[in-house]
Amino acid sequence: MGREITVNPVVDLENVTFSYGEMVAVRDVSLTIEKGEFLGLVGPNGSGKTTLLHLMLGLHSPDSGSISLFGEPVEEFDGGERIGYVSQQSTNRGGTMPVTVREAVTMGRFAHAGRSRLTKADREIVDESLETVGIADLADRRINQLSGGQKQRAYIARAVASEAELLALDEPTVGVDAESRDAFYRLLDGLNESGITIILIEHDIGVVTDRANRIACINTELFHHGDTESFVESDALEQAYGKTGQVVHHHH
């Protein structure tokens, strides 16, 4: 089952380019994410990380190039329940809907239920998911009354309840205290060890190199994609961030 010999792409991008109007946000990116990977996606602010993730999940259509998800062209993919997505700042926005944590996590089961009522088994999975992420005690609290770290766990619990195979997280720890962050990253490690593929956008490079086993470093173009060790040894980081340094040059 070694990742080196298994060819089982969860996400596959070939020569993907995407622009907002005239502005190219992602240029000619090709990369493959294998099942079971923990990919850290890094790059400076405005480097196209969120856009690239949206492309991977079919939330934007590329101008050119092709994208597949779980082996299907992304534009035909309809297995949304296989993906858990925590969007950028979703924990800050918090949702204005006055639903409880249990209700929010239960929504993760609807995709599977395919019927109007949840079964006892569905309810058990919801309870287990709350336990897994350590928020069983918050089940009856309203989501919009939780702290950033607690909210983020609720979103992860919803993804766990949906039995997502791919978890995509866009800067999930912005506004979360250091202690909760550590606990959160341990939780991600555990989920990854249980076989869930993870894509993590994170501005703290140290966190990414500690946790991820693969790194993609972008600044519109892909500067590096490979295992974490080769990333640390490369100058991809300086190159990708240096490019922005040239664009922003008003300190003198």
Which residues contact Mg ion (rule: CB under 5 A)?
A: 49-50, 88
In angstroms, give the least distance from the CB of 55 to Mg ion. Answer: 13
214-219, strands of its sheet edge to edge: 83-86, 166-170, 197-201, 38-42, 214-219, 221-227
Give which of ligand ADP, Mg ion, none residue 96 binds (C-beta under 5 to 8 Å, depending on kind): none
Give which of ligand ADP, Mg ion, none residue 47 binds (C-beta under 5 to 8 Å, depending on kind): ligand ADP
SS3 content of the chain, % helix, strand, coil (to 5): 40, 25, 30
In angstroms, give the least distance from the CB of 222 to Mg ion. Answer: 16
Residues 2 to 21 in contact with ligand ADP, rule: CB under 6 A: 20
Is residue 62 close enough to count as binding ligand ADP by CB under 6 A? Answer: no
Is residue 43 close enough to count as binding ligand ADP by CB under 6 A? Answer: yes
What distance in Å separates the CA atoms of residue 184 and residue 166, rounded to the nearest whole number? Answer: 17
Is residue 25 close enough to count as binding ligand ADP by CB under 6 A? Answer: yes
What distance in Å separates the CA atoms of residue 42 and residue 45, rounded to the nearest whole number? Answer: 9
Total number of residues binding ligand ADP (CB under 6 A)?
Answer: 10
* Burial label, 124 (beta-carbon count in 10 A; 0-12, 13-18, 19+): exposed
Is residue 247 close enough to count as binding ligand ADP by CB under 6 A? Answer: no
Phi-psi map region of 30: left, alpha, beta (phi>0 left; psi -120 to 50 alpha):
beta
Is residue 45 close enough to count as binding ligand ADP by CB under 6 A? Answer: yes
Binding site for ligand ADP (CB under 6 A): 20, 25, 43, 45-51
